[in-house]
Chains A and B, each alone.
Chain A
Amino acid sequence: GAVVSQHPSRVICKSGTSVKIECRSLDFQATTMFWYRQFPKQSLMLMATSNEGSKATYEQGVEKDKFLINHASLTLSTLTVTSAHPEDSSFYICSARGARSTDTQYFGPGTRLTVL
């Protein structure tokens, strides 16, 4: 299957700093990418959907000014957590799929963010 990578896999930062997480589709063109958040022992919650070249669509309750998403190319989307706080500590997972809605979503390995 297709491969999606995330970088970094782990990041620890101080409260108030910003952190950028990259999501790359390595062997296919990802028209649409999704960003999920997963708290310990819980399910994945969709944060936002981004289509290449367009503004991301955020789910209700997700602050767009705090979680900046950029999807400037067909292989790269970034999530920037601005002014991070300890409550932003979580496991962030991206997924990517091709142009068709029936295309499978392939998930990245996740990024563990810890805010001190």
Chain B
Amino acid sequence: AQSVTQPDIHITVSEGASLELRCNYSYGATPYLFWYVQSPGQGLQLLLKYFSGDTLVQGIKGFEAEFKRSQSSFNLRKPSVHWSDAAEYFCAVGASNAGNMLTFGGGTRLMVKP
């Protein structure tokens, strides 16, 4: 069965600082990997996704993520955080043989200090 672990429940960074949110997955084959962002009381917005090819994926809002098969990781990064980035971030893994059903990590709540 597939699973996703986001080790950090909360992260606080200063505005302008760099950010890395960790995501580790467990899946038998090559996974489809996603990062979503959720603002309070809102649905999820897709930041980026990895299906195949270049392991460094660029997303919206200046985010990027790198797929590292050897580490079973798909960490999300941003070089300079803005106050508007404060939100909940979810990593998810999907399987092509399961209709791309998504399994979500527990989420990481990002707080940004002025």
Contact = CB atoms under 8 A, between A and B. Distances in A.
A74 to B, nearest CB: 16
Interface string B86-102: 00001000101101111
B99 A49 contact: yes
Determine which residue in A46, A97, A105 has the highest number of CB atoms from chain B within 10 A of its CB, and name it.
Answer: A105
Contact of B100 (A105, A108, A109): A105
Nearest to A46: B101
A115 to B, nearest CB: 18
Residue among B49, B51, B99 with max Cβ neighbours from chain A (10 Å): B99
Contacts of B90: 43-44
Interface in B62-114: 90, 94, 96-97, 99-107
Given A43-B106, A102-B51, A34 B101 contact: yes
A101 B100 contact: yes
A108 B43 contact: yes
A112 B96 contact: no
A107 B32 contact: no
Interface in B21-79: 32, 36, 41-46, 49, 51
Contact of B43 (A32, A34, A109): A109
Nearest to A5: B43
B42 A110 contact: yes
A67 interface: no
Contact of A44 (B96, B99, B104): B104
Contacts of A110: 41-43
Contacts of B96: 101-102
Given A107-B44, A109-B43, A43 B100 contact: no
B107 A43 contact: yes
Give the top 5 A-B pairs by smallest Cβ distance, nearest first: A109-B43, A107-B44, A107-B43, A101-B100, A43-B104
Interface of B: 32, 36, 41-46, 49, 51, 90, 94, 96-97, 99-107
Interface of A: 1, 4, 6, 32, 34, 42-46, 49, 51, 93, 95, 97, 101-110, 112
